[in-house]
Structure 1
């Protein structure tokens, strides 16, 4: 049951952190690594999958951006979306490697959905960027406790 709480909690925090909600999965992951709770490889995998799936939700929202952007509850401002869209148009799908960045990363994933980026390419690029970030966090955590 403890393992479910560790990995399930990490998955939920990673998923929510990738959506437009203000959640920090990095703090949760670093805390688990520093406390020696969980297998680092499994923590890496769970965090990467959860965070990537959260970005998939953003991609789906991007597909309906015209309808969603007028909703009061939609957390990406028009300015954030326009900035991300300009950057996305300039650099293309490669911006998805930076989907892990605070604020603008979420907007990149929404812009990718609006631009109808191929889903497979989206998942690969987003997962690579997020995996690299989590690998650095875990390596830093392991180094800190060594």
Structure 2
């Protein structure tokens, strides 16, 4: 894998990371006062830290993050909100679907860390130790989101 490919790969994941941060912030805001509020706030802070780590990886591989990822995140987030309005989903169902998107994003992030970890075998600009920690944290985030998602579904489907 050439350095240019690693850099391009990291930059693509950075665009997705900006979208993920925006989605986690929105979810945290929407669920303020809910049983999941504190966990979503904690997850949002971790997701923001993960994005900062990825920005550093992008810089380490010789690229500058620039403003493209932020613009991509804004457009992606607008599309997510538009889809829920088009489907006329009730708020509770939209919240459940929102958690599915967050879980998918964290799963994709874990895959990204796995690929960068594999690249670190040949690209010494990447820290295997840091990437292993990021991957472990993504797995933990995934587990926590899974728990919230199931709890939310139980409340939704068991309500009168």
Structure 1 or 2, whichever has the larger Rg, is 2
TM-score (norm 2): 0.29
Alignment TM-score, normalising by the size of structure 1 = 0.31
